[in-house]
Each structure stands twice: as C-alpha cells, then as structure tokens.
Amino acid sequence: MRTLPTIALLLALAAPAAAQTAESAANAAVTPAIGAPVSAAVAPPSMPEDACVGDGQVRLRLELGGVRSSKGQLVVTVYPDDEKRFLAKGGKVARVRVLASAPATVACVPVPASGKYAIAVYHDENDNRKFDRTMVGLPAEGYGFSNDAETTLGLPKFEAVLFAADKGENKLSIRMKY
C-alpha cells in the first residue's frame, strides 16, 4: 500500500514533464546542456551494448531494468549536484527519451563534466509526454531514481540519488517501479 507522501513523489516526477520547453515539445530527443538538441520525430531505440561512445566527454550508460512493456518511451532526466534544482522546473542538465524495450532498456546520456549527478526516470507508456497518475494521485506509469533510492515515504533523499561520474563511460543501473 502506498502512503500519502507518495503523492509528493508523483507531483515532483510530473514537474519535469510539465516543465518542458517549446524545444522539447518539438520532439527533441536529447537536450544536453553541453550542446544543441538533437531533434527526431520519434525517440531513438534502446541502445546496443557498445553505443555509448565518444571522445573526451562524460557519458552515463544506463540500464533501466524491470521495464514492464515495450510501449512508449523511457524519459531519463539528469540533474546537477544542487538539491534546489533536483526535480525543479528548469533544473535539468540533460534529458533523453528512448523507445521502451522490455524487460530492460539501455540509454546513453552525455553530461557536461565530471562531478556528481542525480537521475529521475519515468516510463511514458502512452507517449503523452506526461507522468500519468491515477485518480487518487498514485503512479499510473513506472518511475525510478539513480542508486535505486528508496521512495516508500515520498521522494528519495537527495543524498541517496547522487552518484559520481568521471570522464568516459559511467555504467549505472536503475530498476523501474510500477
């Protein structure tokens, strides 16, 4: 049974989706802070094992496990080491949308520099570009956080979602919760 503070989690996850700019509304597939967006009519598919490559940059290779269906997209949002920006409108460093692939989806996200980051993910199963909730405010779509941070009583603690990323590829796993 989910508790009332879980509603705060849902509202916070919905904020990044609701706060999309006109740029993302125009089907931006990637909106990294380090370069111009890469536009596409649809999200790129889940990435093969060796697809997260690039010279001299910091890359996050994410395996998103427990994906319940191949419908829709997984939306990965990366935040900097700043608690005030975590899940806040305009607070993201990068956002990537990839086509869902059950039971696991792989995504690669470039970030601006080595440092600490936090990730929030949601499974937009119906492709409406929103984190959907039930009539009582509980999640209707899957979600997850870096380090598989605990969400039993609402949002995870900021310190629990932070992780360090160094130059090159950084592998992370996140288990989706439905």
User: What are the φ/ψ torsions at residue 44 (nearest 5 degrees)?
Assistant: -70, 155
Count the Cβ atoms, other than its own, within 10 Å of residue 22: 7
Find the distance separating the first CA and the last CA of the chain, reported in whole Å.
12
Confidence of residue 61 (pLDDT cuts 50, 70, 90): very high
Residue type, 158: F
Q: Which two tokens stand for residue 83?
A: 């608690």
For the ranges 45-59, 65-79, 131-145, which has the lowest average pLDDT?
45-59
**SS3 state at 16:** helix
Phi, psi of 83 (to 5 degrees): -55, -35
Whose structure tokens read 């288990």? 175
Q: Is 4 helix (H, G, I), strand (E, B) or coil?
A: coil
Q: Which two tokens stand for residue 27?
A: 């089907």
pLDDT band at 154 (very low <50, low <70, confident <90, very high): confident
Predicted confidence at residue 25, as pLDDT, reads: 37
Confidence of residue 44 (pLDDT cuts 50, 70, 90): low
Contact 84, 137 (CB under 8 A): no
Nearest to 96 by CA among 55, 66, 51, 139: 51
Mean pLDDT, rounded, for 162-176:
97
β-strand pairing of 104-111 with 58-65:
antiparallel
Please state, in angstroms and rounded to a whole number, the distance separating the CA atoms of residues 34 and 93. 8
Q: Which two tokens stand for residue 76?
A: 């990965």
Tell me the per-residue pLDDT of 17-32, one tens digit each, with 9 for 90 and over.
Answer: 444 433 333 333 333 3
Q: What is the mean pLDDT of residues 107-114?
A: 95
Q: What local confidence, expressed as pLDDT, does residue 52 receive? A: 77
Q: How confident is the model at residue 56 (pLDDT cuts 50, 70, 90)?
A: low
pLDDT reported for residue 8: 45
Chain segment 62-79, per-residue pLDDT in tens:
999 999 999 999 999 999
Most trustworthy range by pLDDT among 51-65, 128-142, 157-171: 157-171
For 152, counting Cβ atoms within 10 Å of its Cβ (0-12 exposed, 13-18 middle, 19+ buried), the class is: exposed
